[in-house]
A and B are shown apart, each in its own frame.
Chain A
Amino acid sequence: MTRTTSAREGRDDTRSEMPLLEVENLRTQFPTERGVVKAVDGVDLSIESGEIVGLVGESGSGKSVLAESVLGIVENPGEITDGSIRLHGESLREKSEAELQQLRGGSLSMVFQDPMNSLNPTLTVGEQIAETVRLHQDVGGSVSLPAEVKRKIVGTAKNSEAWRRAIEMLEAVEIPEPEARATDFPHQFSGGMRQRAMIAMALSCEPDLLIADEPTTALDVTIQAQILEELKRLKDTFDTSILLITHDLAVVAETCDRVNVMYAGKIVERADADELFSNPQHPYTEGLIESTPRLSADQQELTPIEGNVPDLINVPYACHFAPRCPESTRECFEVEPDFRDVGPSGERHESACLRRGEGGDL
């Protein structure tokens, strides 16, 4: 670990005044035969340097599409139709594909749910990490096509900087015997080890922002605990901000500094993690918490949210949660809810519900 301390200690402080990532009024849509799916529908999101921000929502809430939009990898025919995405104040939407490619895996990297589908099955794990390092960091070693092809056949030189870095990274994510494991193929790894390898690769270029989309959903709970500890530790070691996307409230509660709750394409509530879970203010957040089985002894009954997540084509009501909301009134179907401060003073706690906060009747 000591070998891989952050090289960014002397970073100038002017940067830290603006958020690391700032997403404003983002809209991402998918045209389909039945109409336009508004997967992300006017979302604001900001991430400060060195924090873990949670984005929590059920399937179909648009949380993964939001992540893909930030990374510039929204699948066809989906497209970003409005809004801005700024990393370090620079607009990502104005960047060319080549520039984005340089960013992805470099200062902006990602970990997905299924590590087996995101690792190349035909290359050893060490090889894949070394390749990332060569492509994004100046470590010597040509990245021309013939040079890369040769490496794919005979393997990266074991004394190269890139390979050493790969082993260091595997060691950093606590894979035992990293020298031996680096020469293994992904199928020789267990699920937890694969996810560690993915994290090692994502962090190999010391990204400023790591987007982790359901990184522990496919893993057993004991392995999940290992990986979440790992993420927290690596955040401190590498000074990386993390956007953690998950459906699991408890994972968010334990891991994140701040939380955004997303429902049907919109963020409905955001606050610091402790504040959000001790004082939820949006009926959807409340419903989610009430329907989550918990180990604490005081919980007797689960209270499910009635109904289902809406189809995101032409949602005909203003607040997307209104039809499932136990508190909704006629106004909720007609008037777009705005964000209001709902927490105790001094807390950054906002909820988009007409019935809460100033002007709300509850």
Chain B
Amino acid sequence: MSSQTDMSSELVLEAENLKKHFDQSEGLLDRLLGGGGTVKAVDGVNLTVRQGETLAVVGESGCGKSTLGQALLNLHVPTDGSVRYRGEEITGLTGDEMRPFRRNLQMIFQDPLASLNPRQTVGQIVKAPMAVHGIGDGEADRTRQAEELLERVGLKASHMDRYPNQFSGGQQQRVGVARALAVEPDLLVADEPVSALDVSVQAQILNLIEELQEELSLSILFITHDLSVVKQIADRVAVMYLGEFVETAPVDELFENPQHPYTKSLLSAVPRIDPEARTERVILEGSVPSPINPPEGCRFHTRCPVIIPPDDWPGDQKSFRQAFTFRVRLEEGELEPDAVEEQLAAERDEVSPELIAEHLVEGSISGSPEDLPSDVAESMHETARLVAEGENERALERVRDRLPSPCVADRPRQVEVVGEHVAACHRVDPERPAESLD
């Protein structure tokens, strides 16, 4: 390891405004007309990983956490931003230029069997990266080192000649770990390394990773969807939603004092064994929006239970959330007057746009429209009527005008809560006072 002692030697990996977008357009026509759209898988992420620490990136499927891991290792060429390894820029390096860095930056994958060559013995798998990076004095020395490694990860030296499919899932993952460690890396990116394993085996691998980290002073970027695992293994946590970090904090701080509403609902959704540990569950509405054209402002606003109402909102926050769901559905093109009309027509003789509008409103908000402030309910009904008459543009204009929110208008900035605890939510921003809840 490096013997430098200044602060920069502490930082192993740094990413600044890292972006990875995937172009979905197919063919020339799409490109000329701008069709197809762009998946913003990673959209402006800043992170640091220090010597010997584990940074966990947690998020639901589709939030971009795996793409982030790959972009950091230059397996995807980033669209924008930069990645530095111990101060050296590695963004956009070619395969050859990247090679010396690869020795220091290794990866462990989710599916151990799929990431091991089925035609190579475990010995070959572990020795191959050593040969590439010129580790060891010849074949015999490499074999000896590989045997030691296998024993170190809880396998036997006699396993050298076996094939991956002769092992159980947990043992395969141990081989994956041995292969990554074969080149004595500095930083490991572990992408859901225990998600495919049974819980008793998962604990074995988690403990192994922790032991090795201590022994080798490894830095780890641990990507997972499982908050319980995060709690077990991480020093710091970054919560990711739709390509962005919404909250970053030291692990205990995050679990004890979560600030972002997404983190809170994610935490509350984790099932718990101990009845005392259960908290009131915040059930989120709907599912994660598409990363093609993600929502404006705060990306979580479409599902956020504590979205901020406009200053002149006549009702309480709860009624705003209820009404706002109507706007979300309309924006996402989920209101289908034709289907409603067809169904109504099958059930009765006469169908008026009035009736369709009524149905659209009832079907798209939770609870009854009667719980809303009366002029809001009325305005919503009129908007739904516009939808029923096919005037979608006007309906959208109207709903945006009637149901605005600072959470849609402005992107929340990263606000420091305490120390290293940072969250991106208007509600934690002291410069944007929002009426508190309750």
Which residues of A are at the interface with B, using a C-beta cutoff of 8 A? 58-59, 157-159, 163-164, 167, 176-180, 182-183, 190-193, 220-226, 228-229, 247-251, 253-255, 274, 277, 287-297, 299, 301-306, 308-309
- Tell me whether A177 and B273 are in contact (CB under 8 A): no
- Tell me whether A221 and B199 are in contact (CB under 8 A): no
Judge whether B343 is part of the interface by a CB distance below 8 angstroms: yes
Measured between C-beta atoms, what is the minimum distance from B373 to chain A in Å?
Answer: 22
- Tell me whether A274 and B273 are in contact (CB under 8 A): no
- Tell me whether A177 and B363 are in contact (CB under 8 A): yes
Q: Which of B245-283 contact A (CB under 8 A)?
A: 252, 255-256, 265-278, 281, 283
**Among candidates B198, B201, B283, B360, residue contacting A225 with C-beta atoms closer than 8 Å:** B283
Q: Which 4 A-B pairs have CB atoms at the shortest separation, nearest pair first?
A: A158-B346, A304-B203, A291-B203, A180-B336
**Among candidates B201, B225, B274, B360, residue contacting A277 with C-beta atoms closer than 8 Å:** B274
- Tell me whether A302 and B198 are in contact (CB under 8 A): no
Judge whether B200 is part of the interface by a CB distance below 8 angstroms: yes
- Tell me whether B232 and A293 are in contact (CB under 8 A): yes
- Tell me whether A308 and B201 are in contact (CB under 8 A): yes
CA distance A274 to B275 in the complex (A): 8
- Tell me whether A295 and B267 are in contact (CB under 8 A): yes
| B residues in contact with A192, CB < 8 Å | 287
Cβ contacts B78-115/A at 8 Å (1 or 0 each): 00000000000000000000000000000000000000
5 A-B pairs besides A179-B359, A292-B199, A304-B203 with CB distance below 8 A are A167-B343, A177-B360, A247-B198, A247-B199, A287-B200
9 A-B contact pairs sorted by A residue (CB < 8 Å): A158-B345, A221-B266, A253-B275, A287-B200, A291-B200, A291-B203, A295-B227, A295-B231, A305-B203
- Tell me whether A222 and B284 are in contact (CB under 8 A): yes
- Tell me whether B278 and A225 are in contact (CB under 8 A): no
- Tell me whether B227 and A302 are in contact (CB under 8 A): no
CA distance A253 to B278 in the complex (A): 11
Judge whether B306 is part of the interface by a CB distance below 8 angstroms: no
CA distance A190 to B332 in the complex (A): 14
| A residues in contact with B344, CB < 8 Å | 179
Known: A225-B269, A304-B207. A294 touches B60 (CB 8 A): no
- Tell me whether A293 and B270 are in contact (CB under 8 A): no
Nearest residue (CB) in B for A57 is: B198
**Among candidates A183, A222, A251, residue contacting B60 with C-beta atoms closer than 8 Å:** A222
Judge whether B52 is part of the interface by a CB distance below 8 angstroms: no
**Among candidates B168, B225, B271, B364, residue contacting A248 with C-beta atoms closer than 8 Å:** B271
CA distance A180 to B344 in the complex (A): 11
| A residues in contact with B311, CB < 8 Å | none
CA distance A98 to B379 in the complex (A): 55
CA distance A228 to B203 in the complex (A): 25
Number of A-B residue pairs with CB-CB distance less than 8 Å in the complex they form: 168
CA distance A328 to B278 in the complex (A): 34
Which of A180, A250, A274, A301 has the most C-beta atoms of chain B within 10 angstroms of its own C-beta?
A: A180
Measured between C-beta atoms, what is the minimum distance from B262 to chain A in Å?
Answer: 9
| A residues in contact with B342, CB < 8 Å | 158, 179
Which residues of B are at the interface with A, using a C-beta cutoff of 8 A? 60-61, 168, 170-171, 198-204, 206-207, 225-229, 231-232, 252, 255-256, 265-278, 281, 283-284, 287-288, 329, 334-336, 339-340, 342-347, 359-360, 363-364
CA distance A299 to B347 in the complex (A): 58
Which of A158, A222, A225, A291 has the most C-beta atoms of chain B within 10 angstroms of its own C-beta?
A: A222
Measured between C-beta atoms, what is the minimum distance from B352 to chain A in Å?
Answer: 16
CA distance A303 to B360 in the complex (A): 53
| A residues in contact with B267, CB < 8 Å | 295
- Tell me whether A295 and B255 are in contact (CB under 8 A): yes
CA distance A291 to B201 in the complex (A): 8
Main secondary structure of the interface of B (DSSP, over half): helix
CA distance A179 to B360 in the complex (A): 10
Measured between C-beta atoms, what is the minimum distance from B175 to chain A in Å?
Answer: 14
**Among candidates A179, A225, A226, A250, residue contacting B273 with C-beta atoms closer than 8 Å:** A250
- Tell me whether A294 and B269 are in contact (CB under 8 A): no
Nearest residue (CB) in B for A249 is: B273
- Tell me whether B198 and A179 are in contact (CB under 8 A): no
- Tell me whether B363 and A251 are in contact (CB under 8 A): no
- Tell me whether B207 and A228 are in contact (CB under 8 A): no
- Tell me whether A293 and B228 are in contact (CB under 8 A): yes
| B residues in contact with A302, CB < 8 Å | 203, 206-207, 232
Measured between C-beta atoms, what is the minimum distance from B268 to chain A in Å?
Answer: 8
Measured between C-beta atoms, what is the minimum distance from B84 to chain A in Å?
Answer: 32
- Tell me whether A226 and B278 are in contact (CB under 8 A): no
- Tell me whether A179 and B207 are in contact (CB under 8 A): no
CA distance A70 to B199 in the complex (A): 26
| B residues in contact with A182, CB < 8 Å | 339
CA distance A220 to B242 in the complex (A): 14
Known: A221-B227, A293-B229. A58 touches B335 (CB 8 A): no
CA distance A250 to B61 in the complex (A): 20
CA distance A247 to B340 in the complex (A): 41
Measured between C-beta atoms, what is the minimum distance from B230 to chain A in Å?
Answer: 8
| B residues in contact with A222, CB < 8 Å | 60, 265-266, 269, 283-284
Known: A178-B363, A220-B60, A220-B61. A59 touches B198 (CB 8 A): yes
- Tell me whether A250 and B271 are in contact (CB under 8 A): yes
CA distance A170 to B114 in the complex (A): 38
Nearest residue (CB) in B for A183 is: B339
CA distance A163 to B346 in the complex (A): 11
| B residues in contact with A247, CB < 8 Å | 198-199
**Among candidates B231, B268, B288, B335, residue contacting A293 with C-beta atoms closer than 8 Å:** B231
Nearest residue (CB) in B for A307 is: B200
- Tell me whether A229 and B363 are in contact (CB under 8 A): no
Which of A158, A224, A304, A306 has the most C-beta atoms of chain B within 10 angstroms of its own C-beta?
A: A304
CA distance A45 to B267 in the complex (A): 34
- Tell me whether B199 and A291 are in contact (CB under 8 A): yes
- Tell me whether B203 and A303 are in contact (CB under 8 A): yes
Nearest residue (CB) in A for B336 is: A180
| B residues in contact with A226, CB < 8 Å | 283-284
| B residues in contact with A294, CB < 8 Å | 228, 231, 272-274, 277
| B residues in contact with A225, CB < 8 Å | 268-269, 271, 281, 283
CA distance A132 to B97 in the complex (A): 60
